[in-house]
Amino acid sequence: MATGRSSAEFTAALRNREQLIGYWSLLDSPIAAERLARVGYDYLAFDAQHGLFGYQGLLNNLLATDTKGSTAVGMVRVEANDLTYIGKALDAGATAVIVPLIDTAQDAADAVCAVRYPPLGRRSYGPMRAQLRIGPDPADTHEQTAVLAMIETADGLANVEEICATPGLDGVYVGPSDLRLAIGGASSTDPSVQDEFEQALTRVREAAETAGIAAGIHNADGASAARRLAEGFTFATVAADVVHLQHIATSHLQAARGEAR
């Protein structure tokens, strides 16, 4: 299987707080995933929480990510902090899981427990496709599989230092839409809470740095991702295929009509 970067290389880079850039996918389109995996991104993140994926779709898109010419590994935002959801994503071959709605250090510990086999955790053994990418041995899996906790709620922000200090947690990932709502925004893009939002991002970033784990954030576009990386986030995602498809189709329609943009 000719991929540009192995799970071992990616996870090591993530844990070393090297800068990584990914792309977010909501659409169940393996052909699109196969093309996106060749662009040069470090990872493709498939959204099983809000995206349009069933399990077969998730599996097919992870397979497409690992085709010849790919530079990316597959990452999955799972539906919930649940042993079954996390295990199925990992068994399908995800290199990393993003776990939503982490409010406390105990939530983070539960997520870590779900990605580790006994005696370190509670993941049930049955790696199916994952053993072809990483191998069947639990030690290799633990070395090469990452778990990321989403910080997107008022409680998650309040407890972010304790969350980041959770043993075995590889990083945190800011969900900006929910976080902006959590700090009092009237909408997911409300500019009236921008100062509070930036303060929240600084707190998350600094908590991760102190704990020595990765700090990631979701972004609407590449320019925003570049800004956040320059500020000190260690990985950033550009989002998302369904939105960008509409944007580029609209721009071409306007150009064809001779309309000003």
DSSP line for 74-86: EEEE-SSS-HHHH
**Residue 4's pLDDT band (boundaries 50, 70, 90)?**
low
**Residue 73's pLDDT band (boundaries 50, 70, 90)?**
very high
Identify the three-state secondary structure at position 219: strand
**Residue 135's pLDDT band (boundaries 50, 70, 90)?**
confident
Q: Quick check: 238 pLDDT over 70? A: yes
Listed residue (217, 244, 156) closest to 19, CA to CA: 217
Residue 98 and residue 61 in contact, taking contact as beta carbons nearer than 8 Å: no
Higher local confidence (pLDDT), 260 or 101: 101
Query: 146 - beta bridge partners?
Result: 96
Q: For 206-219, how does the pLDDT look when each residue is reduced to its tens digit (9 = 90+)?
A: 999 999 999 999 99
Q: Percent of the chain having pLDDT more than 70?
A: 98
Locate the DSSP E strands across the chain: 20-25, 43-47, 73-77, 96-99, 146-151, 171-174, 214-219, 235-238
Listed residue (175, 194, 167) closest to 102, CA to CA: 175
Q: For 185-207, how does the pLDDT look when each residue is reduced to its tens digit (9 = 90+)?
A: 999 999 999 999 999 999 999 99
Q: Quick check: 33 pLDDT over 60? A: yes
pLDDT at 128: 87
Active site residues: 50
pTM: 0.95
Which residues neighbour 62 within 8 Å (Cβ) at sequence distance 6 or greater? 46, 74, 76, 92, 93, 94, 129
Mean pLDDT of the chain: 96
* 65-to-14, 35, 43, 92, 158 alpha-carbon distances in Å: 18, 8, 9, 12, 36
**Residue 261's pLDDT band (boundaries 50, 70, 90)?**
low
pLDDT at 2: 43
